[in-house]
Amino acid sequence: MAFTLNVNGRAHAIDAEEDTPLLYVLRDELGLNGAKYGCGVGQCGACTVLCDGKSLRSCLVPASALGGREVATLEGLKAPDGTLHPVQRAFLTEQAGQCAYCIPGMVMAAVALLREKPRLTEAEIRSALDANLCRCGSHNRIVRAIQRAAEELAR
Ligand code: FES
């Protein structure tokens, strides 16, 4: 099936099976490897990207269903001059990644979260990211990173 997929501000002509998950198209067709395959069934959050600014588990949604929508991946987060997004900077500053496999999904989920609600309590951050799993147990650093990013974005 041929369709157009908008990713990180660019339109891509895609030819894939109708039910091919967005995650596979991003990684295998477009070479965007930020979103990770964790569980493949919507349970871990490693594959999180943005769709029209909202958090989306890319393993669950066929890419062919996203015509006319705007998908954003970790690769599209930095500014055109290469400046990292405040959430990316905060994750680095707080050393939130250990093996870092979950971090792209965490960063994208955090970006969506802070757009939706810029001021959050620690409990709200933990609750919102409850379904993004980190097998290294870096959750405390991840929460601190999101708090740091929220402070920077509020300035
Ligand atoms: Fe999509 Fe786990 S790979 S939620």
pLDDT 10s digits, 80-90: 999 999 999 99
Please give the distance, rounded to the nearest whole angstrom, from the Cα atom of residue 99 to the centre of ligand 1: 17
Measured from the Cα of 43, ligand 1's closest atom is 4
Query: CA nearest 61: which of 42, 44, 75, 76?
Result: 42
Give the burial string for 50-81 (b: 16+ CB within 10 Å, else e): bbeeebbbbbebbbbebeebebbbbbbbeeee
Structure tokens at 37: 């395959």
The model's confidence at residue 19, banded by pLDDT at 50, 70 and 90, is very high
| The predicted structure's pLDDT at residue 35 | 98
In short, whether 38's Cβ falls inside 6 Å of ligand 1 is yes
Domains and CATH numbers, the chain: 2-73 (3.10.20.30), 86-154 (1.10.150.120)
Mutate to test the pocket of ligand 1, among 33, 55, 59, 108 (most ligand atoms within 8 A of CB): 59
The candidate with the shortest Cα–Cα distance to 90, out of 36, 47, 142, is 142
- Segment 49-73 mean pLDDT: 97
Output the pLDDT for position 69.
97
pLDDT above 70 covers a percentage of the chain that reads 100
Q: Which residue's alpha carbon is nearest to atom 4 within ligand 1?
A: 42
pLDDT tens by residue, 105-150: 999 999 999 999 999 999 999 999 999 999 998 899 999 999 999 9
